[in-house]
Amino acid sequence: MEWMLGSIVAPLGFSAYGMASGIKKEGLDLALISSEKPCTYAGVFTRNSLKAAPLEWNIALLEKKSMISAVLVNSGNANACTGQDGRDAVRESAELLAEIKGIDKESVLLASTGVIGVPLPMMPIRESIRTLAENLGRSTECSQLSAKAIMTTDTYQKEAAVSIEIDGCAIKIGGMAKGSGMIHPNMGTMLAFITTDAYIEQQALQKLLKTSVDDTYNMISVDGDTSTNDMVVLLANGCAGNDVIRYGTTQYRQFEKAFNALNLQLAKSIAADGEGATKLIEVEVAGLSKKEDARKMVHAIISSSLVKTAVFGGDANWGRILCAMGYSQAEFDPRNVDLSFVNNNKAVSLMRRGTPVDFDEHVAKSILEENQINIKVDCNSGWASAKGWGCDLGHDYIKINGSYRT
């Protein structure tokens, strides 16, 4: 597996473009991804009971197993809680694009991110969609424009691409994502679009995506579960010319490994770009009897505002980590807990078998001052583990919490 430059246009047959249509007062706000061949499609969507209009559309297409040729994405408006108007806007957008591109409207996916409850203004889309389609390209500039057009409060675009060889055939996977400005994991919209030129059966594609999302986007503190608009979609157009990849085969596992690495890279870049973040926090929990408990514990730690402020302040206030573990609803025995802070070349043990360690504050502080810190927890009572990623909590808010202990 090799990392490469580029993103969604790295795989053969995909092109993209992004532009300013006027949905936002200023800046890029409309992106298009297009495939020269129809793609099999997999999708994972928000669990929020209020789903935005484009998500309802995409879910219906997934149920029909539609082949997809294009994805139209706008930022600046979520088209959520917009009733019949919102559904009409989705249909019209798909129809407009289908007509221009000479494709079926049911081969168009849609995504939106931005303010909820305000009608999606159709005029900017009507006026820009032809320009958007006519400028589709495979250059780095084209893919960067599309990655920028889906951003809201992100400070940089998130792109990644990898190349693997399966049975002698070069296969590429590319992706772009947007995070959210939310410090606490509850509502920031997360979108990710992954393309590949692999030929892979649809059923395998959906399983692949579901499994990978659970270990990547669902394990970052900008939590994907709850916005009205969260979605991750994967398009495979088969342009690489490989033999079909079926679920459970060696080829499937080769593809899966590269796919997971790509998603992890995008997910971590979302976590690292949390609002005001200065540090990426990786939390690793091991030694529990249930995977679900390990996930719960990771989530509680990466979501804790007090843990995040302590990391920002460089304060080794590890009691806050224990407290988060305590309310995580994971089953564990506090008397067995090992806890440490680690980074590339240093480590400090804070608790061993449930007993506080008289640690060196200077070493702890020097670890917390790096731009990536790892919190390692071992509950020593089983073989289940989980990893997750979050960020510190910056700004003035920290003046109060960051120095609480010292």
| Residue ranges that bind a second copy, judged by CB under 8 A | 47-50, 78, 80-83, 115-118, 153, 181-184, 186-187, 225-228, 275-276, 303-306, 317-320, 322-327, 334, 351, 354-356, 395-397, 400-401, 404-405
What is the C-alpha to C-alpha distance for residues 269 and 146, in angstroms, rounded to an integer? 17
Q: How far is the CB of 227 from a second copy (least distance, A)?
A: 7
How would you classify the pairing of strands 30-45 and 191-196? unpaired
Q: Which is nearer to a second copy, 197 or 275 (CB)?
A: 275
What sign results for the dihedral spanned by CA atoms 147, 207, 226, 224? Answer: negative
Q: Which is nearer to a second copy, 3 or 156 (CB)?
A: 156
Q: How far is the CB of 107 from a second copy (least distance, A)?
A: 29
Phi/psi at 300 (5° precision): -60, -40
Q: How far is the CB of 193 from a second copy (least distance, A)?
A: 22
Q: Which is nearer to a second copy, 39 or 55 (CB)?
A: 55
Which residues are marked as active site? 189
Q: Which is nearer to a second copy, 47 or 346 (CB)?
A: 47
- Paired tokens of 21: 């249509």
Q: Which is nearer to a second copy, 86 or 238 (CB)?
A: 86
Q: How far is the CB of 364 from a second copy (least distance, A)?
A: 13
Residues 6 or more apart whose CB falls under 8 angstroms from that of 271 comprise 179, 220, 221, 222, 277, 280, 281, 389, 390, 391
- Paired tokens of 374: 């790892």
Nearest to 302, CA basis, from 213, 369, 389, 386: 389
Q: Which is nearer to a second copy, 60 or 244 (CB)?
A: 60
Q: How far is the CB of 120 from a second copy (least distance, A)?
A: 12
Give the count of beta carbons closer than 10 Å to the beta carbon of residue 184. 17
Q: Which is nearer to a second copy, 202 or 381 (CB)?
A: 381
Q: Which is nearer to a second copy, 247 or 397 (CB)?
A: 397
Q: How far is the CB of 77 from a second copy (least distance, A)?
A: 10
Q: How far is the CB of 393 from a second copy (least distance, A)?
A: 9
What is the C-alpha to C-alpha distance for residues 259 and 44, in angstroms, rounded to an integer? 15
Phi/psi at 106 (5° precision): -85, 10
Q: How far is the CB of 347 from a second copy (least distance, A)?
A: 18
